[in-house]
Structure 1
């Protein structure tokens, strides 16, 4: 019989697995300049793939979507 710690661990692993399976995977080519403001998108961010906006503009888009 599983104890509470085992059950909690199984639940946590299940949630983590679901989250990883539902994540968005970007595979498109990234823009080098933000489509909204024209600022250069940092190289580190471009590595994500499919990036169209700088961090500030993407954050604003996501805030408005809520």
Structure 2
């Protein structure tokens, strides 16, 4: 016999797996990374540039992504 807590846990696991799948399905940027941020013109750290296709620093990318969600 399942109770409300078991159903809530199952729903949470389903939502988490769907969220992860959605993020993994998003295409990653490719090509060379910029040395300076597209928005603030601050330097992009070498470790971030090594990922490839990076256009913005972390704070500017976070702001950009939040704007896309609205």
TM norm structure 1: 0.64
RMSD: 2.6
Tell me how far 1:5 sits from its aligned partner. 1.2
Greater Cα shift, 17-26 or 2-11: 17-26
What CA distance in whole angstroms lies between the structure 2 residues aligned with 1:27 and 1:63?
A: 18
Question: Unaligned regions of 5+ residues in structure 1, if any?
Answer: none
Question: Unaligned regions of 5+ residues in structure 2, if any?
Answer: none
Count of residue correspondences:
66
Q: Deviations over 1:5-62 (max 9, x none)?
A: 1101100000100110111352514322223343210234335543201234434544
Counterpart in the other structure of 2:48: 45
